[in-house]
Structure 1
Amino acid sequence: MRHYVEMPRRLFAAAPRLHRQRLLAAALGLAAACAWAQDAAPAAGAAASQPVRNSTLDAPLFYQLMIGELQLREGDPGAAYQVILDAARRSQDETLFRRAVEIALQARAGEEALSATRAWRAAVPTSQEALRTELQILSALNRLDQAADPLRALLLLAPASERSSLIAAVPRFLQRAADQAHGARLVEQVLTPYLEAPDTRVAAQVAIGRAWLAGGDPARALDLVRQAHAADPAAQGPVLLALELLPTRPEVEPIVVEYLARPQSEFGLRLLYARALTATQRYAEALRQMEIVTQQRPELAPPYLTLGALYLDLKQPVPGEKALRRYLELTAEQAPAPTPPADTAGDDEDVAAVPAQGRIQAWLMLASSAEQRGDYQAAEAWLALIDDPQRALEVQARRSTLLARQGRVDEARRLLQAVPERGPQDARSKLDAEASMLREVKRWQEAYEVTAQALQREPDDPELLYEQSMLADKLGRSDEMEQLLRRVIVLKPDNAHAYNALGYSLADRGERLPEARDLIARALELSPNDPFITDSLGWVEYRLGNRAEALRLLQRAYTSRPDAEIAAHLGEVLWAEGRQDEARRIWAEARARDAGNEVLAETLKRLKVTR
């Protein structure tokens, strides 16, 4: 496609007879589209007496379209492009301009695609589609210096009632540009006039803010979203942008909370907020949002799946299983409901079906919950419902853990090793599953050896190195753990968990505490509001003697994620502060959720707390 001008025009030559009818059909299809675009029936409700406009599709144009499609099928996209574009110019038909652009894009000929869109604009100056297409191509070609004119023209063509929506979409036109900061400057330049008009001000502020977020300036985006929300607290646009900012700029959260406190707030935004909370492991807060969603829209199935997962992660199996069963009930129309395990069987029919992925996920979580309760028969019954070859390893991994928990570790390992491998990634996944199963039953040395096998295949894999560091810690090899974590940081400098794990290990041993605090602070910069990292920072502050700051941080972490290990740390600080009743209450809550937690058990033993 780089040499359209020089390409010979073999228009109708050498088309095999075998393909003639098929190619003719394709040309007819394009011709019909051209005719339909010009002669479509009046819209419903329009006057039936409107004059009939004859199509401009005459015989020469028809044959020209047929020739263009034949050339494309014969592997000559350059000739096809020239023929179709010429037909578009002669007829000024947008369908044909669109087709010329498609041919050029399919052949990865950006210059020709851009030429076609500009010819399209020249022929149909009021075409918004031509302008949108030109903007997208300029973005892909990284020619943002040429995008201001079509962008301004597009905004001027939009009806006043639609202009705010179009302004909000402006950053998407430029999202493929390599230089996003340049794109942000362009968006701000073009949209600045719209900041003055009351009906477009908020949309322009949000669009510029989104462009600057993509352009690497979240501080500028934060300032704009605050301005937009202050200008119109009822507008959704600022809230959506605030949700995008939330993972890295937690100070924007009050905007989201204030909006969701409104009686008429959209449940869809609440779902997005819950997702953002989950991404930062603030599961307790995400759970509260999902409970509100299911109360507002009890007929919707997907929220129950998320709700069930959150309950189970927070060690609340009873409401978790209830939510998951409700999800299965609501999705029964798409796939038959499963037969409940023997301990809960009712009058449901025993049906076999290939379930949707959501139902498979629900069954896996129900199996995991039953396993945690020690009901291995029920767990296996849920797993038996899954008949999906793509999830075979996942199912066998759960089965292996069931076996291992019953002391049948060798059998569990053989089960995983027997899973067929379809490629190199499957071999890695099998080793991951085996190591995970061994960790579940605290077979640290064997898990270490399996992970070492995986590292032989991929010695610079940050995830494997991190897992090996955690196993080295369990084996008391603190020097090796530190070496592995520092290797992870070199390979992946933005890995918050590596900084946190190294800092926490130093703090827990009471070693190099200022360095430990710096490491954890860096982790919190990379992952703001992560409750486990906040817990680590609180713990190192406690070890440094800063009890008030430690208590503040640990209470915040526990509120977001009432985990047993965080409870152990919070309780110890409360205990040291003489607030023993509060400490006992926190520990009692943690024992009720996760009585087997090692950190909690060690803390209670060391402090000689018996109740």
Structure 2
Amino acid sequence: MQGIRLSRRFISLALSIFVGGCALGNNTFAGQQTTNVATFSSPLSYQVYNILAAEMFIQEGNPGQAALHYAAAAQQSDDPAIARRAVELAVGVNDNALAARALERWVALEPESPEALQYQAINSLRAGNYEAAAKALAKVRDKVEKEDGHGFEFIVSLLALEPDAKKSFQTLKQYVQTVDSSARAQLALATLAINSDQFEDGLKAARTARQAGDKPQQEQASRLIAKALAGMDRVPDAVTELETASKASKNPDLKLDYARMLILADRRAEATPIFKQLYASHPDNTDILYTLGLLYLEQKEFAFAEPLIKKLLDIPERATEASYFMGQIQEGQKRPEKAIRFYQQAMGGHYEKEATLRVASLLLETESLESARQWLEEQQQATSNDDRKLLLLQTEGHLLHDKGRYKDAISIYGKALALKPDDFDTLYSRALSAEKAGDFKAAEADLRTLLQQEPDNATVLNALGYMLVVNTERYPDAEALINKALQQRPNDPAIMDSMGWILFRTGKLAEAESWLRKAYTQLQDPEIASHLIEVLSAGGKQAEAKTLLDEMLVKYPDDAQLVNVRKKLVGL
């Protein structure tokens, strides 16, 4: 192709033919064949025309048409570079049929090309022809293996680059079944399976690898087995798998996975000493340092957490997160001014929303609501970023709502919605403030707007259902909404509470008590407790109701709902 030299006159002629209507509009290679090669003076002129047309289409941002023309040129050329260009363009626009035709030509011209075989594998994969893809991968592996001894690793990397993880998994599964069933291949298959949420297949492949592999492969297999089990919601089984494997090994990665799985199983007390041991032997491991610091922080062991989190401040990619956690540590140690400084350093990072709320809340606690609002206003004036402004307005609205200034909160949420009219969080928050302000009609309108956006959102369904129970007698509508929310989240205690309360309102005491007991078992919340106390009292179980009320008032002496229940239920 590089040897072709064209006169200006010939270029003009080729372009005039192109403009005159010889370019093809079909979307497949077969359509390209409608052009009669005999209309050109020679195969060379046919090549030149298609190459020029292809390059013009590339300039115009139409790679699909460019691929058609390069594929046509490739059929009349012995230059593999033209066929390769056709393949690249066809694969880029996901035209599998055209890519397959161009690949045939490329492989015919350059049968030993590893690149052609790679494209052949990827194209077959995307077309769902996993058997052909596996065969092509085997050839690629052999060629790369001869060059640098890493053929298998190369094809696994190639599959990992493919966006459709499920197709990559199916291809490697075919490869393992027909070409290579070694422990190494099974481990790669298990990894791809888990990454594409094929947990059953991942578990099977990892167990096969554990049976056939050497000790390092067995350890890797145990880690993958645990991941597959966790993906299948079998966390206790995953913990057992890693506990057994880590006891028989000195591999720190196994112990780290075991400690992480303990956290996932909500067994933090058991995880903490393991992380302490790992930190002692690997003090520079950022992940271990990070997790141990958070474990101490979660357990309110601030003196132990502080030096660890301080180390993270010196790691650029962790600095903003570490600043937020340092803010929590300072707040836990009753140092609000230092906490505010650290929270401000955390802004712009992953915890920007939380840090902004904490600064405003601390200013509210240590100074006044007006000081917090003034800071939020200054922050708004200092930024031109609408997302940041939205966050600041939402934070101000939350503060006002919590202080019982519902109409002011509604006004602030209105300003936020002027920036982003359909913002989900703002509409939801405004609905809650409107209901508290006594404007149920406005609250319902906002929640209905949200359900138009997300008809199956359990939080909104439950909120609207509960509001209907409390503010209206539209009980059938309320029950339908709450039932729909339960279908989405059957174990959510807040939704169980709503169901219990509507059953109480409709006179079904036994069913109401059952739902409220289940809700309270999962979440000892004052609102759920107040509902259960009222239902127990209505059912003649005053002694149990009084005991529960007394217990909750010890924990939450200032909770308005519990206080109201005591006033409402004389004798408790």
TM class by shorter-chain length? Answer: 0.5 to 0.7
> Displacement of 1:373 after TM fit?
7.6
- What is residue 450 of structure 1 aligned with on the other side? 412
Q: Give the whole-Å Cα distance in 2 for the aligned partners of 1:267 and 1:570.
A: 44
| 1:554 maps to 2:520 | yes
CA change 1:404–1:187 in 2 (3 A) is same
The share of aligned pairs that are identical, in percent, is 21
Instruction: Please tell me the residue identity of whatever aligns with 2:412.
Output: V
1:587 alignment partner, one of 533, 552, 557: 552
> What amino acid is the match of 2:340?
E
Query: How far did 1:449 drift?
Result: 1.0
Could you say if the C-alpha distance between residues 482 and 357 of structure 1 is closer, same or farther in structure 2, counting changes exceeding 3 Å?
Answer: farther
- Pair 1:121–1:501, CA change in 2 (3 A): farther
2:368 is aligned with what amino acid? Answer: R
Please identify, of 201-210 and 363-372, the stretch whose mean Cα deviation from structure 2 is larger.
Answer: 201-210
Relative distance call for 1:381 and 1:460 in structure 2 (3 A) is closer
Cα distance between partner residues in 1 of 2:532 and 2:266: 18
Structure 1 residue identity aligned to 2:132: D
Q: What is residue 149 of structure 1 aligned with on the other side?
A: 132
Matched, 1:485 2:468: no
How far does residue 453 in structure 1 lie from its aligned partner after superposition? 1.7
* Equivalence for 1:459: 421
Contact 1:287 1:310 in 2 (8 A): yes
Match of 1:433 in 2: 395
1:476 aligns with 2:438: yes
Tell me, yes or no, if the aligned pair for 2:130 and 2:171 is still in contact at 8 Å: no
* Letter of the 1:412 counterpart: A
2: CA distance between counterparts of 1:186 and 1:407?
A: 62
User: CA, structure 1 residues 499+189, in 2 after alignment: closer, same or farther (shift >3 Å)?
Assistant: same
Q: What is the alpha-carbon distance in structure 1 between the residues aligned to residue 288 and residue 240 of structure 2? A: 22
Structure 2 distance, partners of 1:537, 1:308, is: 40
Q: CA–CA distance in 2 between the matches of 1:383 and 1:488?
A: 32
Structure 1: gaps of 5 or more residues: 14-70, 214-220, 247-251, 278-283, 336-355
Distance in 2 separating the partners of 1:398 and 1:523: 31
Name which one, 1 or 2, has greater alpha-carbon Rg: 2
User: What are structure 2's unaligned runs of at least 5 residues?
Assistant: 9-54, 212-220, 248-253
Where does residue 380 of structure 1 map in the other structure? 340
TM-score (norm 1): 0.57
| Pairs within 5 Å for 1:503-518 | 503-506=465-468, 516=478, 518=480
Q: For 1:401 and 1:327, locate their aligned partners in 2 and report how far apart those are by CA, in whole Å.
A: 26
Q: Distance in 1 between matches of 2:305 and 2:395?
A: 24
Partner of 2:373: 413
Deviation at 1:438, TM superposition (A): 2.8
- Aligned partner of 1:297 among 267, 278, 303: 278
Aligned residues: CA RMSD: 6.0
AA of the residue aligned to 2:336:
Y
- Of 264, 280, 286, the residue aligned with 2:246 is 264
1:240 aligned partner: 227
Q: Is the 8 A contact 2:222 2:242 kept in 1?
A: no
Map 1:22-101; keep pairs closer than 5 Å.
none
Which AA in structure 2 matches 1:482?
Answer: E
Per the TM alignment, residue 380 of structure 1 is displaced from its structure 2 partner at its CA by: 3.3
Q: 1:295 to 1:588 in 2, by over 3 A?
A: farther
Q: Is 1:285 equivalent to 2:266 in the alignment?
A: yes
Is the alpha carbon distance of 1:204 and 1:357 closer, same or farther for their aligned partners in structure 2, counting shifts above 3 Å?
closer
Q: Which residue of 1 aligns with 2:42?
A: none
Query: Which amino acid in structure 1 is aligned with residue 447 of structure 2?
Result: L
- Is 1:519 the counterpart of 2:481? The answer is yes
Determine the C-alpha separation between the residues in 1 that align with 2:450 and 2:135: 47
- What is the alpha-carbon distance in structure 1 between the residues aligned to residue 170 and residue 485 of structure 2? 34
**What CA distance in whole angstroms lies between the structure 2 residues aligned with 1:501 and 1:410?**
30
**CA-CA distance at 1:176 after TM superposition:** 3.6
For residues 514 and 258 of structure 1, what CA distance do their matches in structure 2 show?
A: 47
Quote the Cα distance in structure 2 between the aligned partners of 1:570 and 1:230.
48
Contact 2:500-2:515 within 8 A present in 1 as well? yes
CA distance change for structure 1 residues 459 and 203 in 2, over 3 Å: closer, same or farther? same
Query: How far, CA to CA, are the matches of 1:534 and 1:303 in structure 2?
Result: 38
- Could you tell me how far apart the structure 1 residues matched to 2:569 and 2:153 are? 61
Among candidates 309, 327, 337, match of residue 328 of structure 1: 309
1:54 corresponds to: none
**Aligned 1:347-426 pairs, distance under 5 A:** 356=316, 358-368=318-328, 375-383=335-343, 398-406=358-366, 408-419=368-379, 420-426=382-388
Contact 2:427 2:447 in 1 (8 A): yes
* Matches of 2:293 and 2:559, distance apart in 1: 22
Corresponding residue SS for 1:431: helix
Q: What residue number does 2:15 align with?
A: none
Query: What is the rounded CA distance, in whole Å, between the counterparts of 1:308 and 1:446 in structure 2?
Result: 40
Q: Which has the higher contact order (CA 8 A, sep 6+)?
A: 1
Give the alignment of 1:128-139 within 5 angstroms.
131=117, 134-136=120-122
Q: 1:208 to 1:602 in 2, by over 3 A?
A: same
Check 1:526–1:396 CA distance in 2 against 1; reply closer, same or farther (3 A cut): closer
CA deviation map 1:47-79 (0-9, x unaligned) = xxxxxxxxxxxxxxxxxxxxxxxx9xxx99999
Report if the CA contact (8 A) 1:503-1:516 is conserved: yes
Contact 2:262 2:271 in 1 (8 A): yes
CA distance in 2, matches of 1:481, 1:146: 54
Q: In 1, are the aligned partners of 2:553 and 2:562 still within 8 Å (CA)? A: no
CA distance in 2, matches of 1:601, 1:441: 18
Q: How much has 1:585 moved relative to structure 2? A: 9.4
CA distance in 1, matches of 2:373, 2:544: 47
SS at match of 1:285: coil
